[in-house]
Structure 1
Amino acid sequence: MLIKTLVENTCVSEDFRGEHGLSLYIESGNHRLLFDLGDSELYAENAKKMGVEIREVDTVIISHAHYDHGGGLKHFLGQNQQAKVYISPYGFDDYYARKSDGETVSIGMDKSIEAHPQIRLTNQHEILSDHLEIFSGVTGRKFFPKGNSVLLREKNGLLVPDKFLHEQNLVIREKGKHFLLAGCAHNGIVNIVDQYLSLYGDFPDMVIGGLHLKNHSTGEEEDPETVRYLGEALLKTNALYYTGHCTGSASFQILKEVMGDKIRYMATGSVIEG
């Protein structure tokens, strides 16, 4: 399996541009996938530099309903008329973030594309092919990111805490290895991995995605001691972790101290071979 990071906050070199967002291109079996599309059209610019042909993509998974993961979708639908786009049935609800100054801003998806014929709304456990699956419905609350406290959804005209029902995770099985992709792990990466364990009976070989240990709206980082305990918990899974985006540089350094080579950073322009 081949994974190319098209969008992340940082870059491997000045040949690329980054933004607050995530987009991964994946070659797996006969599939050409995009997991998230960043905040803008930047994913396509970097794709061209990395030798990725957007028109050949057959599958898109939007991990959750925030602009920094689905902001490039309208552009994608104008460039590719064949790919199926898998989004949670809660994906076009209204979502907000409360900033450090108290202002509340919209962070949801573009509703103008909600009825587009390429969009498929997913079930809680969706089998896409013999080696691609999506699952959601994570209910555990261990190491629940404190940055979630300023993330809201609209319900009956009121803003209430987001339960992240719109967050979904991708599972890829290839050549005897299992890969788990989580866009921001708002439900907590330990809880997501626990749900994976309950579904498949073992831990994944590799976990890829942001860990939401830094809140973009407020700039607040997770408590260092909590991050250390989190790293110890992740070590017990014996999986290899690739992370970036909403993990935050300070939290990543702590995780690196705890986990060593079991955790690695992915930046715009990086390539992972599984």
Structure 2
Amino acid sequence: LVISYGGKRILLSGCAHNGMLSILDAFRDKYGTAPDVAISGFHLMKSTKYTDEEYREIVDIGKELKKYPTFFFTCHCTGEPAYEIMKFTMGEQLQYVHSGEIVACDFFETVKEK
């Protein structure tokens, strides 16, 4: 789902089962550019500790996402451990949102709903 708001394109994806990078490629194919904002779970949550290979894969995904001129809000099935791994690479380009929070599209910040 793409929302056009204030001259920006916001990509919404519940859970990126096919991979966020594949979704971004499809977006670029359709619109000729990257989204300004993407809101999606990254399907990286698991109940056990990540293997070294899984850890490296999460780091690599973060490095690839960082190449996009996109601000990412992640949630749902990313899980906070994977978020923390990606946050180290992506810095301020990545934010975790939780249930009960609102993404204010006019300035792309998260605020708690009162």
Residue 184, structure 1, aligned to residue 1, structure 2: no
Q: Per-residue deviation at 1:266?
A: 0.5
Structure 2 distance, partners of 1:250, 1:224, is: 10
Match of 2:85 in 1: 254
Residue 241, structure 1, aligned to residue 72, structure 2: yes
Identity among equivalent positions (%) equals 36
Structure 2 distance, partners of 1:212, 1:243, is: 10
Q: Deviations over 1:130-171 (max 9, x none)?
A: xxxxxxxxxxxxxxxxxxxxxxxxxxxxxxxxxxxxxxxx01
Q: What are the residue-to-residue correspondences of 1:13-52 with 2, within 5 Å?
A: none
Match of 2:25 in 1: 194
**5+ residue gaps, structure 2:** 106-114
Match of 2:104 in 1: 273
Q: CA RMSD in A?
A: 1.3
Match of 1:232 in 2: 63
Residue 203, structure 1, aligned to residue 34, structure 2: yes
- Give TM-score scaled by structure 2 length: 0.85
Q: Per-residue deviation at 1:248?
A: 1.3
User: Any idea what SS the aligned residue of 2:87 has?
Assistant: helix
Structure 1 distance, partners of 2:69, 2:32, is: 14
Q: Per-residue deviation at 1:245?
A: 1.4
- Matched residue count: 102
Q: Deviations over 1:244-274 (max 9, x none)?
A: 1110111100111000010001011111111
2:102 corresponds to which letter in structure 1?
A: V
The answer to which structure, 1 or 2, has the higher relative contact order (CA under 8 A, 6+ apart) is: 2
Which structure is larger by alpha-carbon Rg, 1 or 2?
A: 1
User: Any idea what SS the aligned residue of 1:272 has?
Assistant: strand
Q: Per-residue deviation at 1:208?
A: 0.1
2:74 corresponds to which letter in structure 1?
A: T
2:89 corresponds to which letter in structure 1?
A: V
Q: What are the residue-to-residue correspondences of 1:46-195 with 2, within 5 Å?
A: 170-195=1-26
Structure 2 distance, partners of 1:199, 1:185, is: 18
Match of 1:264 in 2: 95
**Stretch moving more, 220-229 or 175-184:** 220-229
Structure 1 distance, partners of 2:102, 2:55, is: 29
User: Any idea what SS the aligned residue of 1:246 has?
Assistant: coil
Structure 1 distance, partners of 2:92, 2:6, is: 23
Q: Structure 1 residue runs of 4+, over 4 Å off?
A: none
User: Any idea what SS the aligned residue of 2:72 has?
Assistant: strand
**Greater helix share, structure number:** 2
Structure 2 distance, partners of 1:173, 1:259, is: 24
Match of 1:214 in 2: 45
